[in-house]
Structures are given as C-alpha cells and as structure tokens.
C-alpha cells in the first residue's frame, strides 16, 4: 500500500456528532491521497460504530473509553498517522477540498511548514446563545494566494519579547490547522518522547516545530475550517469560561504528578496555559537558553490584565500567585518598575479600545490587530458541511501559486 500524502489527525472526546461530521466531510472529497486518523476517548461508541459501518481504508481509528488525558489522546492520534504531511484539526473542525493539493505543492517545493493567513471560522449552533442558534461563519471575501516566507527563529524571539500572548499572530510553524512534514513531528518525538506535551498541545507543538523547522511559509488562502462547538476550547474563550484554579483545567485531567513549570501562576487561564507549554517545549527540545528572551514583566502584566477584564473576583488569588512568581524570577526594583509600567499601559489600551475578546485584546495591545478588510459574517450555517459547500464556491480550490 502506498504512503498517503496527507494525514488528517483528529483527537476526540464526547463530541460525537461533530467528529462524525468532520470525517464525513473529508471522505466526501474522495481524495485517495488523504488518510484520516482518529483517537477516540468518548464515553459512547457512536463514533466507533460509525467508523465500523464505513469500513473505509482511509480511516485509521483507535478507541479507549478509559481515563486518558487530552494530551495522551492527541499523541495517540498522531501515532496513527503515516502520511508524508500531517494537519491536526479539532473534532469540530474540518479541512477544505484543496488541503491535499497544498500538501502536494509543499512536496514539489520541498517545504516543511505551511499555514493559512486567511482563517475560515465557524461557530456551530449554540442552543443557549440567541445570537448563535443557527450557526455563524466568518470568512474573508477575497484571497490573494500570496505566499510569504517566515523566519521561525526571529518570530519566536519576537513572540517571547512581546510577553508570550496571541501566538497565532506571529506566523510560527504549527500543525494545528497548519500542514507540516511528518518527519519533523517524528524528530520531535525522538527528542522528547512525544509529539505533544505541556498543557496546551497547540503552543507546545508550535514552539517545538519553530525550533526544528527552517523553511516556514504562509499563504493567503484557506485550506481548513476552524470550528467551535459549545464544548470547545475556542468557544470557552469566547464565553470567558477559561478562568479559575489550575487544578480545574481540563488539560490536566488524568495527569497525576504533572509538574507545572516554575514562575507560572497556578491559576487557569489561556495565558498561563500557553506560556507553561512554551516553557515545557523549550526545555524538552533542549533550548532552555531561549527562556531568557521571555519578557516576564510584560507577561505577568498581561495575566493581571486578563483577570481585570474577565474575572475581577479572582484578583486576590492572582495577586498572591504573582508575588510568588516574582520571587521565583528574583525580580528586583527594575523588573517591578517595568511590571507596573506595563500594567498602566495595558489598562490604557483597554480603556481606549474597549475590546472584550481575549485574543483580540492581545492583538490590540501588541499593535497587531490587522483584521482583513471585507470579512463577511454569514448566518444560518447549521453544519460544517454547509460551510464547506459555501467556501467551495468562494475559493478556487484548484489554484496553487508559483513560488
């Protein structure tokens, strides 16, 4: 049997209808270059039964309804992948019909990493949100298909100097909704013992890939759909559910003995999860030297700002955690002065822009808010397969640029 060109990797748990929709949409393309790998940790056998009924050679599936951590499930899904290139998506996401074409384009040009600068975002119908009862799609109205090369080392350094927030804005190599050469993922596993580690698989792998990949590109054209169902991490950020004690983080379930990296507040928030995973990735990939490039005073100011906006009742706990971090980092008068200055600046930005979204506020603070003009919001999108059909009419799926 020939090696697949592209493996679409999915880890799923208790979101059966969305996972089935993802598999079904990809198989509908009838592209023999694609394999789908699924690691299922659901309580039911709905996906298992669906896959058994399919009996499709392109679907590689494993089921374990025992106590499996989300990170372990991510690794199981990647372990199944045999393609030359891989793209990791959530169980409420999908790829577009052109995704394998882009993998072939990468192979033809010897490219290790490709991401899209034109994200197609889809929110599944949310029963208890009157504005999202029928689903919502946000899609740019035009695409240039322009290809841009990025310097991973420089961008990773800039990301850390900016306080390690909103990593999505820094054009780092990524396997989550990015296409990367599987050999690089295998290299990371050989070095660290796993493909994904830390608390956030997205950030952990982005840092690891950016350390190991030299030729990294982005294209102004979509090849996947980033979905968000009510139970998803993405919707949790939108609904401001990602605040609290670190012990409550779903990422740490069934990970007894996991050691949170030092100088990280022991609270649950997106900023904590991202930076903890960055530190873990740098250490496990033998690049601890890069930790000194992190602007910790700005990072702590970002965390303080996050809770000022999202959960003020948690500020007492946060204050104690930050004091502990200052001691861990041996903060002196200069570092404390910088921290207070950043706090004042971020408060000014919040008052000026009044942006409530965590990610959007991060971009505003960094001067990176470059929302593409002409982005359209499309209502009445009840299923991700409807999204694919809509985008398929907007984008030339056969078009590939010259490099």
- pLDDT one-digit tens code per residue, 298-309: 999 988 887 776
Share of the chain above pLDDT 90, in %: 67
Q: Is the pLDDT of residue 354 over 90?
A: no
| Residue 55's CATH number | 3.90.550.10
Residues 126 and 219 placed together within one structural domain of the fold: yes
Residues 153 and 297 placed together within one structural domain of the fold: no
Q: Is 245 exposed, middle or buried (0-12, 13-18, 19+ CB in 10 A)?
A: exposed
Structure-token match 């420089």, residue found: 154
Nearest-10 crossing angle of helices 201-212, 152-161: 130
For residue 275, how many C-alpha atoms fall within 13 Å in the half-sphere facing its CB?
28
In a domain, 48, yes or no: yes
Our count of domains for the chain comes to: 2
Residues 167 and 49 placed together within one structural domain of the fold: yes
Overall size of the chain counted in residues: 403
Position 30 scores a pLDDT of: 97
In a domain, 400, yes or no: no
Structure-token match 């007492």, residue found: 316
**Residues 6 or more apart whose Cβ sits within 8 Å of residue 312:** none
Residues 142 and 86 placed together within one structural domain of the fold: yes
Q: Is 25 exposed, middle or buried (0-12, 13-18, 19+ CB in 10 A)?
A: buried
Paired with 62 in beta bridges are 39
Q: Residue 356's domain spans which residues?
A: 234-366
pLDDT tens digits for range 277-326: 999 999 999 999 999 999 999 999 988 887 776 566 677 888 899 999 99
**Residues 6 or more apart whose Cβ sits within 8 Å of residue 107:** 5, 84, 85
In a domain, 403, yes or no: no
315-335 burial, b if ≥16 CB within 10 A, otherwise e?
eebbeebbeebbeebebeeee
Q: Is the pLDDT of residue 14 over 80?
A: yes
8 Å CB contact between 11 and 86: no
pTM of the model: 0.92
Residues 187 and 292 placed together within one structural domain of the fold: no
Residues 276 and 386 placed together within one structural domain of the fold: no
pLDDT tens digits for range 170-222: 999 999 999 999 999 999 999 999 999 999 999 999 999 999 999 999 999 99
Distance CA 165, CA 271 (A): 6
Q: Is the pLDDT of residue 48 over 60?
A: yes
8 Å CB contact between 89 and 23: no
Paired with 228 in beta bridges are 123
């Amino acid at each position: 049997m020939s090696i697949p060109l592209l493996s679409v990797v999915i880890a799923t748990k208790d979101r059966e209808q969305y996972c089935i929709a993802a598999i079904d949409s990809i198989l509908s393309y009838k592209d023999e270059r694609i394999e789908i790998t699924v690691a299922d940790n659901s309580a039911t056998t709905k996906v298992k039964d669906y896959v058994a009924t399919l009996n499709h050679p392109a679907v590689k599936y494993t089921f374990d309804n025992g106590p499996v951590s989300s990170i372990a499930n991510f690794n199981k899904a990647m372990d199944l992948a045999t393609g030359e290139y891989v793209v990791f998506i959530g169980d409420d996401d999908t790829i577009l019909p052109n995704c394998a074409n882009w993998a072939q384009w990468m192979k033809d040009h010897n490219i290790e990493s490709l991401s899209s600068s034109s994200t197609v975002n889809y929110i599944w119908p949310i029963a208890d949100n009157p504005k999202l009862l029928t689903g919502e799609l946000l899609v740019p109205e035009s695409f240039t298909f322009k290809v841009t090369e990025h310097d991973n080392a420089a961008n990773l350094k800039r990301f850390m100097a900016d306080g390690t927030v909103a990593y999505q804005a820094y054009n780092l190599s990524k396997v989550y909704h990015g296409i990367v050469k599987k050999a690089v993922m295998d290299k990371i596993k050989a070095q660290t013992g796993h493909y994904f580690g830390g608390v956030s698989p997205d950030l952990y792998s982005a840092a690891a890939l950016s350390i190991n990949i030299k030729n990294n590109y982005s294209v102004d054209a979509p090849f996947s759909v980033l979905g968000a169902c009510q139970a998803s991490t993405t919707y949790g950020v939108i609904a401001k559910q990602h605040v609290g004690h670190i012990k409550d983080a779903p990422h740490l379930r069934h990970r007894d003995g996991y050691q949170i990296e030092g100088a990280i507040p022991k609270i649950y928030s997106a900023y904590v999860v991202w930076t903890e995973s960055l530190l873990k990735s740098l250490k496990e990939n033998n690049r601890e030297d890069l930790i000194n490039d992190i602007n910790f005073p700005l990072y702590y100011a970002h965390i303080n700002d996050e809770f000022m906006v999202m959960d003020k009742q948690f500020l007492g706990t946060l204050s104690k955690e930050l004091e502990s971090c200052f001691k861990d980092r041996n903060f002196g008068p200069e570092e404390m002065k910088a921290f207070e200055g950043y706090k004042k600046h971020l408060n000014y930005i919040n008052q000026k822009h009044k942006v409530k979204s965590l990610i959007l506020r991060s971009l505003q603070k960094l001067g990176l808010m470059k929302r593409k003009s002409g982005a359209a919001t499309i209502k009445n999108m009840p299923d991700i397969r409807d999204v694919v059909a809509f985008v398929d009419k907007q984008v030339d799926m056969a078009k590939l640029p010259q490099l």
